[in-house]
Amino acid sequence: MHATVAATDSSSEPEIGFPDGLTVDVQAISDTRWKVLTPFVYRATNEVYTVPAGEETDFASVPRPFVWFIPRYGRYTKAAILHDRLCRLAEEGSFSRRDADGVFRQAMRTLNVAFLRRWIMWAGVRWGALVTREGRRDWWKDAWIVVPLSLIVLPIIGPAAALIVATLVVWFVAEWIVWPVLATVRTFKMGRHMRAKRVNAPRLTFRL
């Protein structure tokens, strides 16, 4: 399966951003992971970053309860793929996770992502950085922005996210009630050498 992510890139600073008319070719390698097929570059203020062919990505790493607000892909897709690359370099110790998050925000600006949305997404990846040692380094330098911004946004999107979580749990329970019945019917049919469809067990996950 192949997919092409395409968008028109424009920036008020032509020297910064992705090449005009850039398309990104990716191939699905699992339910949630993709592989870049063609390398591409991003020009930042003082550096040029390359996303090589073979780089893996899950696009924007948004928890399932929040995808209604920030989808996994959109205007910011190329920036998300670049961010995955820079985060991998940070894990290897050859790049700063804080800089990776900063480049992510800058790249979204060059892709015309709305001001508040890109800052919210930046705050999200800064929270996500806390799960790694490199991500925790100098995290406090951004806390004065990340924490207040989160406190402003969460009361707005939190209730809807909580409702989605509750709905997912209820649906999961409903599937578990139905699944044993379907599995029993399948076993019965197979015992009588009748054609029976496979019955997949339900799974509760908060990641797409």
Instruction: Indicate the pLDDT class of residue 14, thresholds 50, 70 and 90.
Output: low
1 CB neighbour count, 10 Å cutoff: 7
The model's pLDDT over 38-76, given as tens digits with 9 standing for 90+, comes to 999 999 988 999 999 999 999 999 999 999 999 999 999
Q: At what angle do helices 77-91 and 97-110 cross, to 10 degrees?
A: 170
Instruction: Indicate the pLDDT class of residue 11, thresholds 50, 70 and 90.
Output: very low
Please give the Cα distance from 11 to 75 (Å, whole number): 13
- Residue-range domain boundaries for the chain: 2-153
With a pLDDT cut of 70, the percent of the chain lying above it is 93
The model's pLDDT over 84-118, given as tens digits with 9 standing for 90+, comes to 999 999 999 999 999 999 999 999 999 999 999 99
